[in-house]
Amino acid sequence: MFSVARQKHAEGGRIHLHHGSTGLITPLPGPRGQYCPTGRLLVLGYVMNALAELGMVSDLPRDIQKTETLCAHDEERKDYFIERDGMRYAGNHLLIDFWDAINLDDPQRIDEVLCEAAVTAGATILHSHFHHFTPNGGVSGVIVLAESHISIHTWPEKNFAAVDVFMCGACDPHLSIPVMQRLFQAGRVEVDEQRRGREAA
């Protein structure tokens, strides 16, 4: 069995799953968003852990299934459609290219910073998974959010990272960019924005 336990890191609270008895803990709040653990785990979580033991799932830095549902205290849906400028749409999708970047080959550090970026933007993190490629050291990963996702693919040999940030509701994905830039220190950042799920007038 697994339980949810609290573990602090230097740049804020993080949630990890550990062996032991099951239990319920309170969420760790962020400046805008939050982590949202409960005492219940997805069945998929057990499947992922079984696959990891067989070597079929990367554990760099971790495979975590954090929640079955959103926290009970967060009853209002956070992924609602947005109404802005006379338009109703699902959410804002940023395609961000970091050029002449550094720190592109450390999956744990990238995971931590992308989680911080998600919380800063006001999102609720459900789980994350990152893979470290060899021999070039590239990293691919995804942060699954209640409001959609953040994904990344890095090419250290090209000093390049491609990041997708898709968020619905009240989240502001633009707030995630300065957080990531602190890590990547990119010489050039290119951002393309799309409004996804635009309803017909």
The catalytic residue positions are 148, 153, 168
Within the chain, strands assigned E span 2-9, 12-19, 34-35, 82-84, 87-89, 91-99, 124-132, 139-145, 148-155, 160-168, 188-196
Contact by Cβ (8 Å): 95, 192: yes
Nearest in space to 92 (alpha carbons), one of 179, 175, 190, 7 = 175
Contact predicate 163/171, CB 8 Å? no
Residue 80 DSSP label: P
Residue given tokens 């707030």 in the structure block: 175
3-state secondary structure of 183: helix
